[in-house]
Amino acid sequence: MNTRQLIECVPNFSEGRDMTIIKQITDEIESVEGVKLLDVDPGKATNRTVVTFVGEPEPVIQAAFLAIKKAAEVIDMSKHKGEHPRMGATDVCPLIPVANISMEETAEWAHKLGRMAGRELDIPFFMYESAATSPQRRNLATIRAGEYEGMAEKLKKPEWKPDYGPAKLNPKAGATAIGARDFLVAYNVNLNTTSERRANSVAFDVREQGRVKRSGDPITGEIMRDENGEPLREPGACKAVKGIGWYIPEYGIAQVSMNLTNISVTPVHVAFEECCKSAESRGMRVTGSEIVGLVPLKVMLDAGRHFLQKQKWSTGVPEEELIHIAAKSLGLDDLTPFDPKKKIIEYKMADENANPLINMNLRSFANETAKDSATPGGGSISAYVGALGAALGTMVANLSAGKRGWDDRLEEFSAWAEKGQKLKDTLLRLVDEDTEAFNQIMAAFRLPKESAEDKAARKKAIQDATRYAIETPMRTMEAAFEVFELAETMVKEGNPNSVSDAGVGALCARAAVHGAWMNVKINTGSLADKELAADFLKKAEAIAKQTDEAERRIVKLVEEKM
């Protein structure tokens, strides 16, 4: 499981007709290492282009800054015409948390971008949504009211002093809103009907806005209104969902087309289930669904867990299986094949050449280890043996969760299986990381040593790499030690037919701890900071001692139960 922080940036530029201008802007984005350009969507009528790119926070805000700067150079707002509301060359630039980062952290990065752009560029910047500095500025429409043509006068008012940059309009670049908002998923649910009207009825049941209330007949009756003359509405089942029904001639079916504006409030699987309920109540059936664009990995993992829970089955299964269950349960293959590598942001971002060892088959991995090269070595093998130990404990947890007559303990064993999967994935990552740590040491030794500066830089690089080569097996020791709690619980509480499997898992964990300990010891000898080296050794020895005690205890329990 990937743990790096990812944010998405979706800037809207006020140019949708001249592709040479658009390319100059996207070239700036692609010039930043660590950023992946996912989509460029120009609109001629709106004269506006929506660009989507993703990466870790630092490179994303650097790419966003360069794009805003370039847009200010190549777009002249005084000559801009288009159907979409707009106020600047870069009209809006939202940051969206995708993986392993909170909305609060994302808002902080938005402010970092705002400060940088406000300092370097002669453009007024307003912060909106979760990055807003006041409640009045949360809504983008409020900030943009009056558009480019009215912004010069608006900026003269004290209450509209920008958050960053000058309190005057840039005649050429206009003004820009920078924000942090939730991820929006475009999601369509397929129905076994060709009726747009009937699809709309499902959409009205599901969307937050619901439907207008009518007196008498719900279709032909008179619209009911409040004391201000506003139509009364019957809210739908799902908050943060917009939706409408339409007919797609290409597929010969009607769909409920939805925008899920906050997947923390209404996840994809909840919207799907509500469509199923509504369709069934109206004599229709949902045949599948489609995700338009990309989704974060969490969307698929949460859906997979939801459907496994509905099946009264353990959720402690591998990531790949969770995605498979989600795709099949949501019917994502109904219209076109669903390819996780193309539809999940983290997978699309992944380096195909990363993790070369754990992506090998068993024979290839063994052959690679047997070659006359130093890697993969004992550290990688220790991590892999630990992963096997975690996998065995997880297997027993899953077998226990599915044991006939143990239905009341499903949730308990499922939780243990999920913990085991996390430990397994952590240790699998450490297989390649240990080899990378060794490679960094070798790279440091190959650095030039001609001048005094060269020698100093080389010495520092060697020490930094050596510390990393100690910290990596230390993490293997820590993760492998956690396997004992899983293994011991499964020996005591798990399916008695698999007690020996849990025992073997504990033996694997011991081998992993002691193997990684050897790597800690051999590398601390090269660490110049002897006090730090002693701390590493003391910590490692304590883990090894606790490991031996846990292994003896578990083996004794296994022998008693066999």
Cβ(128)–Cβ(145) below 8 Å: no
What is the C-alpha to C-alpha distance for residues 368 and 374, in angstroms, rounded to an integer? 10
How many other C-beta atoms can be found within 10 angstroms of the C-beta atom of residue 14?
25
The DSSP letter of residue 126 is E
Cβ(54)–Cβ(8) below 8 Å: yes
User: Which structure tokens are listed for 212?
Assistant: 């207008």
Told to judge if 306 belongs to the known catalytic residues of this protein, a careful annotator would answer no
Burial class (CB in 10 A: 0-12, 13-18, 19+), 420: buried
CA angle 8, 428, 102 (to 5 degrees): 30
What is the C-alpha to C-alpha distance for residues 9 and 63, in angstroms, rounded to an integer? 9
CA atoms within 13 A on the CB side of 530: 0
Is the preceding omega at residue 166 within 30 degrees of 0, hence cis? no
Of 84, 324, 333, 334, the catalytic one is 84
Of 205, 302, 434, 501, the catalytic one is 434
The DSSP letter of residue 43 is E
Q: What sign does the dihedral 246-13-339-259 (CA atoms) show?
A: negative
Torsion angles phi and psi, residue 269, rounded to 5: -65, -30
What is the C-alpha to C-alpha distance for residues 124 and 117, in angstroms, rounded to an integer? 9
What is the C-alpha to C-alpha distance for residues 82 and 522, in angstroms, rounded to an integer? 67
Q: What sign does the dihedral 374-376-381-382 (CA atoms) show?
A: positive
DSSP string, 428-445: HHHHHHHHHHHHHHHHHH
| Cα dist from 430 to 5, 347, 371, 480, 557, whole Å | 18, 19, 20, 11, 30
User: Which structure tokens are listed for 235?
Assistant: 């809210």
Residue type at 260? L
- Helix, strand, coil content of the chain in percent (nearest 5): 55, 15, 30
Cβ(101)–Cβ(6) below 8 Å: yes
Cβ(188)–Cβ(292) below 8 Å: yes
Residues contacting 92, CB < 8 A, separation 6+: 11, 12, 128, 140, 144, 176, 177, 178, 179
Among the listed residues 397, 548, 560, the one whose alpha carbon sits nearest the alpha carbon of residue 477? 548
Q: How far apart are the first and last CA of the chain?
A: 35
Q: What sign does the dihedral 340-342-347-352 (CA atoms) show?
A: positive
Among the listed residues 315, 301, 511, the one whose alpha carbon sits nearest the alpha carbon of residue 410? 315
DSSP string, 446-488: TS--SSHHHHHHHHHHHHHHHHHHHHHHHHHHHHHHHHHHHHH
Told to judge if 434 belongs to the known catalytic residues of this protein, a careful annotator would answer yes
Q: Enumerate the active-site residues.
A: 84, 434
